[in-house]
Amino acid sequence: MTAVHLDNVSKSFGGVQVIKGISLSIQKGEFVSLLGPSGCGKTTLLRMIAGLEEANGGSIHIGGKDSTRLPPERRDIAMVFQSYALLPHLNVLENVMFPLRMRRLGNRAEQRERAEAALKLVQLSHLAQRRPRQLSGGQQQRVAVARAVVSSPQVLLLDEPLSNLDAKLRETMQEELIQLHRQTGLTTVFVTHDQEEALSLSDRVILLNAGRIEQEGTPAELYAAPRTRFAASFMGSTNLLEVALEPTAGGTIARLPGGQSLRLDGAAGQGNATVMFRQEDARLTPAPTAEVAATVVTRVFLGSRTRYVLDFGGHMIRCLPPADQLFAVGERVALDIPPDRIRVLSE
Amino acid sequence: MVEAVPSPIRAAAGLYLAAILLFVLGPLIVVCGVSFTAGDYVTFPPQGLSLRWYEAILSSSSYTGAALISLKLAVAVMVGATIIGASAAIVLHRGRLPATSAISALFLAPLVLPTIIFALGLLTFWSATIGQTSLWALWVGHTVVAVPYVIRTTLAVLSTSDKYLEEAARTMGAGPWRAIRHVVVPQAMPGIAAGAFFAFNISFDEAILSLFLRSPEITTLPIQIYTQLEFSPDPSIAAVSTLMIALTILLIFVIDRVLGIQTVAG
Amino acid sequence: MNSLRNDLIISVPGLLLLGFGFLIPVTGILVLGLRDAEGGWTAVHLLRFLTDPFYLGIAWRTVKLSLVITAICIVTGVPLAYIMARGSPRLRLWLIICITLPLMTSVVVRTFGWMVILGRGGVIPDLMNKIGLVNRNYTLMHTETAIVAGMVQVLFPFMVLSILGVVLRIDQRLEEAARVMGCSFLEALRLVILPLAIPGIIAGSLLVFTLSASYFITPSLLGGARLPVLAGSIYESATRTMEWHFAAAQSIILLLGVLVLLIPYARLSRRSHG
C-alpha cells in the first residue's frame, strides 16, 4: 500500500523553479531518505508533503487521499523540525500531548497515556515535567521525536533532525532512530545532506539534484552502482577518470592519455567515457609495470587505515588500501583495482 | 586590562553620572518634595512636612473627577491598543501581506508625526463628521498613539522566538486560528503585556490630544493640572503630580518584570 | 494555505482605526492648509507664513533652539553612552530606567517641576540670589534657557540610546589594540570610539532635532507667550485666533521639515541595524 505518492510535483519560488516535476512513491512502513546537496530541493519537497509549501503543479497523495490542497493540520502527518520547535511555554509531557489535543485523539486520560508511552519509547519518562529550555540538545531532539510518533501518523517527516548534534550523539541517535522505526513501523521520510547517514538509516534512498531525482534505489544500489557522475561523487569517496575505452577479448581496457590503463569486466563500451572506482577498492603493490604505475604524493594517517594520494599519469587519485600496506611518499606503486569494481558512468 | 581607565577619569565619570542624574531627575524629585509641604506656597525645599495637600486633592471633586476620567480612558485605551497592536505585530512579523512595509509605516507613523498635527487633524475631522468631541474621540486619539508602542514591544519578543513554532503547530493538527491561540500568543505574551502597560501609561499621561479635544465634561487629569498651572499653581499640583510619578514608576517596574526594560529600550 | 486571508482578517480592525482615526484626519488637515474659504486650492496661507517676518522669526527660533538642544544632547550624550556601554549590565539597566523615567511621566508634571526650579523664588534663582548674583525677583522662567533645559531633559535619552546601540557593537578588542599600540585611554576614545560612534550620533541628532521641533507643551509653558515655537504657533492659530487654514498651513511646513530630517534617519538606522 502506498503511503505517499507524488505525481509530477513542481514548485517555484519567485520565478525560480526549485522542484521540477518529481514523481515518487513511498510504501507503507518504508524508511526513505531524501538525499542531496544544499539547494537541491529536498527540504522543499518534504515541506510540500507536510503542506507547509503549496505545490505549483502535480498532485500529492497521502494514505491514498488526495492531499494536494489540504492544509497541514488536515494531513495525517507529523514532522520533526531541524530546530525541534518545542513549545517553550509547555512542559515535555504537554508538548508530546499537543498533537493528540489538536487532532482530538481520545480523551484527556487516553492522551496522557499515549504521551507517556511515547516518552518511554525515547527513554525520557523521567523528564516529563521539565520545560524544553532545561533540556540538552539531544534530549530536546528526543522529545521532538516522541511528539511526532505519538499520533501514529500516516507518514513521519524528519527535516535534518540530527544535524545540530555532535558526532558521537548523532551516531547514537541514528541507532535509536533505526530501533524506533522497527518498533513503530511508521512510514518515514528523512531529509539529510549526509550520504553516510542516508545509507545507514534507509530502506531506500532518493538522491536529488537541482530539483530532480538523480537516482533512487536501495543504499547498496546507490553506493555500488551510481549511474551518473553526480551520483558517483556524492555517494562515498570516488575517483573519476576520463578515459578512452577499448574493447578486448574478455573485457575492456580503459586507457588514460598518458598511456596507463585499467581493466574492466565485460563489454563496457567504446570511445571516450568517465569511469569511477571507490577509494577502498584500490590495492597497491610495489614494483609496478609502466601501465599501472603511480607515485605516492601524500600520505594521511587515519588511525585504522592510511589514505594515499597518488599521481596516476597526471591524475590525482585517492586510495584507502588495506591496513597492512605501507608506502613512503615518492614511492612508485602499482594500482590494482578488481575489474568488477570499475564502473562506466553516463553523464 | 591593567588600569583600563585612569583613576582621575573614573572619579570624573562618577561625578558626571551624578550630575546627569541630578539634571534628569531633579524636576521630578522637586515635585515630590513640594507635595509634602506644610506651607501654602510652592517652595522647595518644602516648609515643614505634611500630607495636607494630598488630603486636599482627594477631597477635590475636580481632581478626583478628572482622575476617574483618565482612569476609565486609560483602561479603554489599554484594551483597544493591546488588541489592535498585538494583531498588527503578529501580521507584520509574518510579513506575508503584499503591502507589509506600507502597513508597517502606517502603524508606526503616529510615532513620527508631530502629535500636534494629528491632534489638529482629529479635532477638525471629528467636528466635521461627528460633531462635538467626546471621550470616544479621545479614545481614538490615544489608541492611535499607543498602538505603535504595543507593536514595538510585541515584535521585540516575536522576532527572537522560534519561527518554526507556528508551522510545527500546524503539522500537529492545529488550524491557523488555533495555532495563533495556542502558540503565537503565548509566545508573544510578555511583549503584549508590556505593551498593554505602556498603553495605559501613555494614555494616562497624554496631554496634547487631551488639550485639543477637551471640553468641560472631558477633562483628563493632565489637563486639569495644565489649567491649574496657567492660573495659580499651588502645592496641590505637586501632590497630584507625585501620585502620577508614582504610578509611572510602578508601571515601569511591572514592565521590567514582565519583559525587561532592555528589550524595550534597545 | 489561506494564510493571506487570515492575515487580512486579523489586520482589519487596526487598518480601520489607523485609516479613519489617523490617516484621513491627518490628510484632511494637510489639505485644509492648501484650501481657501471657498474650497479652492490656494497657497496664500503658506505664503503668509513664509513672507511674514514674525512667523519666519518663529521658524528661526524653532530651528535655533532645536540646534542648541541637539548640540547639548550630543556633548552630554556621548560620554554617558560610553559609560553605559562599558559599564556593567546592571548599571546600564538602572541608567536606562533613570534617564527614560522623565520621558514616561506626563509632560505637565515635568514642566511643573521645572517651574519650581526655575521660577521666581525657585531653587536656582534662590541659590543665585543667596550667592549675590541676582535680586529676589529674578526668574529663569519664560526664557530660551528654560525651554532648552526642559527639552534636553526629555530628549536626552533618545540621543543616548541611539549612540549606546552603536557603541555596544564596537568590538572591545579595538580599544585593546589601540592601547597596546600606545594610546592613552582618552586617545583611544577620541581616535577609535568616537569615529565609529558617528552613525549613532548622526541618527540620534536627526531624531532629537525632529522631536524638539515638534514639541509644543514644554516650550509653551516654559517659554511663555512671547517666545513661541512653530508648534505653539499652530496651537495659537487653531484655538485662540481660530484661523484653521493658517494652522493647517503651518502644520504642512512643520511636517515637511520633519520629513526632510526623518528620511535620512530612516535610511541610516536601517543600515546600522541591517
End-to-end CA distance of chain A: 34
Distances (CA, A) of B169 to A131, A157, B73, B189, C183: 17, 14, 37, 17, 56
- In this structure, are strands A238-248 and A251-255 parallel, antiparallel, or unpaired? antiparallel
- Under DSSP, is residue C44 helix (H, G, I), strand (E, B) or coil? helix
Residue C163 is given by DSSP the state H
Q: Can you give chain A as a three-state secondary structure string?
A: CEEEEEEEEEEEECCEEEEEEEEEEEECCCEEEEECCCCCCHHHHHHHHHCCCCCCEEEEEECCEECCCCCHHHCCEEEECCCCCCCCCCCHHHHHHHHHHHCCCCCHHHHHHHHHHHHHHCCCHHHCCCCHHHCCHHHHHHHHHHHHHCCCCCEEEEECCCCCCCHHHHHHHHHHHHHHHHHHCCEEEEEECCHHHHHHHCCEEEEEECCEEEEEECHHHHHHCCCEHHHHHHCCCEEEEEEEEEEECCEEEEECCCCCEEEEECCCCCEEEEEEEEHHHCEEEECCCHHHEEEEEEEEECCCCEEEEEEECCEEEEECCCCCCCCCCCCEEEEECCHHHCEEEEC
Please tell me the predicted confidence (pLDDT) of residue C271. 66
pTM of the model: 0.81
The CA distance from A68 to the nearest CA of chain C, in Å, is: 11
For residues A238 and B21, what is the distance between their CA atoms, to the nearest angstrom? 70
Contacts of A54 in chain C (CB under 8 A): 1
Chain segment B129-179, per-residue pLDDT in tens: 988 888 999 999 999 999 999 999 999 899 888 888 989 999 999 988 999
Q: How far is C156 from C95, CA to CA, in rounded Å? A: 12
Cβ distance of C2 and A71 shorter than 8 Å: yes
Residue A325 has pLDDT above 80, yes or no: no
Q: Do A54 and C2 touch (CB under 8 A)?
A: no
What digits encode the pLDDT tens for the residues B224-260? 999 888 887 889 999 999 999 999 999 988 888 887 7
User: What's the pLDDT tens digit per position in C112-147?
Assistant: 999 999 988 888 888 888 888 888 888 899 999 999
Contacts of B177 in chain A (CB under 8 A): none
Chains within contact range of chain B (3+ C-beta pairs < 8 Å): A, C
Q: Specify whether C146 is located in the same domain as C78.
A: yes
pLDDT band at C15 (very low <50, low <70, confident <90, very high): very high
pLDDT for res A347: 61
Percent of chain B with pLDDT over 90: 64
Q: B262 to chain C: which residues are within 8 Å by CB?
A: 89, 92-93, 96
- Please write the tens of the pLDDT for every residue from B17-54: 999 999 999 999 999 999 999 888 888 888 889 899 99
> What are the grid coordinates assigned to A68, written together?
494536494
Among residues C38, C90, C67, C73, the alpha carbon closest in space to that of C213 is found at: C67
Give the whole-number percent of chain A exceeding pLDDT 70: 100
Q: How many domains does chain C have?
A: 2
Reported as a pLDDT band with limits 50, 70 and 90, residue A286 is: confident
Residue C122's domain comprises 45-273
pLDDT attached to residue C174: 85
Please give the CATH topology (third level) of the domain spanning A2-225: Rossmann fold (3.40.50)
d(CA A192, CA A158): 9
| CA angle centred on A101, ends A98 and A102, rounded to 5° | 85
| Every domain of chain A and the residues it spans | 2-225, 237-345
Residue B263 has pLDDT above 70, yes or no: no
Query: Domain B61-265, CATH 1.10.260.40 — does that match?
Result: no
Q: State mean pLDDT over C217-230.
A: 91
Secondary element (H or E) of residue B27: helix B7-35
d(CA B177, CA C8): 13
Q: Which helix (H) or strand (E) holds B7?
A: helix B7-35
> What's the CATH number where C149 sits?
1.10.3720.10
Q: Chains contacting A with at least 3 CB pairs below 8 Å? A: B, C
Q: How far is CA B62 from CA B49, B68, B174, B214, B225, in A?
A: 25, 10, 53, 14, 10
**Which of C153, C186, C217 comes nearest B24 by C-beta?**
C153
CB contact (8 A) between residue C214 and residue B248? no
Distance CA B137, CA B103 (A): 23
**Cβ atoms A30, A155 nearer than 8 A:** no
First to last CA, chain C: 30
Hey, which of A154-168, B67-81, B99-113, C225-239 has the most confident mean pLDDT?
Answer: B67-81
Peptide bond into C102 cis (omega under 30): no
Q: What is the pLDDT of residue B246?
A: 94
Inter-chain contact B183–A87, Cβ cutoff 8 Å?
Answer: yes
Dihedral over alpha carbons A168, A169, A173, A176 (to 10 degrees): 80
Q: How far is CA C208 from the centre of its chain?
A: 4
- Grid cell at residue A116: 507517556
Pick the CATH number of A237-345 from 3.50.50.60, 3.40.640.10, 2.40.50.140, 3.30.70.100: 2.40.50.140
Tens-digit pLDDT profile for residues A86-106: 988 889 999 999 999 988 899
Is the separation of the CB atoms in C17 and B143 below 8 Å?
yes
SS3 B42: coil
Residues of A in contact with B168 (CB under 8 A): 79, 81, 85, 87
Contact A73, B173 (CB under 8 A): yes
Residues in chain A: 347
Claim to verify: residue C211 and residue C257 sit in the same structural domain: yes
Q: Evaluate whether B153 touches B193 at the Cβ level (below 8 Å).
A: no
Task: Please check whether residues C73 and C97 belong to one and the same domain.
Answer: yes
Burial letters for A201-211: b for 16+ Cβ neighbours within 10 Å, e otherwise? bbebbbbbbeb
Return the sign of the alpha-carbon dihedral for residues B221, B222, B226, B232: positive
C39 in any annotated domain: no
Both C242 and C159 in one domain: the answer is yes
Count contacts between A and B (CB, < 8 Å): 62
Q: Is the dihedral of CA B188, B193, B198, B203 positive or negative?
A: positive
Strands of A212-217's sheet in order across: A77-80, A155-159, A187-192, A31-35, A204-209, A212-217
Taking the Cβ of residue A71 and every Cβ of chain C, the question of whether any pair is shorter than 8 Å is answered with yes
C-alpha A52/C-alpha A77 separation (Å) is: 11
Q: Strand, coil or helix: what is B215?
A: strand
When scoring B172, B181, B182 by the number of chain A Cβ atoms within 10 A, the one with the most, hence best to mutate, is B172
Residue B29 has a CB neighbour count (10 Å cut-off) of: 15
Quickly count: other Cβ atoms within 10 Å of residue A38's Cβ.
7
* Cross-chain Cβ contact B24/C156 below 8 Å: yes
Would the pLDDT of A304 be above 70? yes
Cβ-defined contact of B207 to C108 (cutoff 8 Å): yes
* Portion of chain C with pLDDT greater than 70, in percent: 97
For residue B95, give how far its alpha carbon lies from the nearest alpha carbon of chain A (Å): 16
Q: Are strands A271-278 and A343-345 parallel, antiparallel or unpaired?
A: antiparallel
- Per CB-CB distance under 8 Å, the chain A contacts of C4 are none
Show the beta-strand stretches assigned E in chain B: none
User: Which one of C93, C105, C116 has the shortest CB-CB distance to B205?
Assistant: C105
Quick one: C163 exposed, middle or buried, by C-beta within 10 A (0-12, 13-18, 19+)?
buried
**C-alpha cell recorded at residue C52:** 511674514
Cα angle value C216/C134/C65 (rounded, 5°): 25
Three-state secondary-structure class, residue B1? coil
Mean pLDDT of chain C: 89
Asked whether residue A60 carries a pLDDT value surpassing 50, the answer given is yes
Between CA C196 and CA A103 the distance in angstroms is 55
For chain B, what are the domain ranges? 61-265
- The separation between CA C262 and the C-alpha centre of its own chain, rounded to angstroms, equals 12
CA angle B74, B76, B77 (to 5 degrees): 60
Residue C274 pLDDT > 50: no
Shortest CA gap A71–chain C (Å): 6
In a domain, C40, yes or no: no
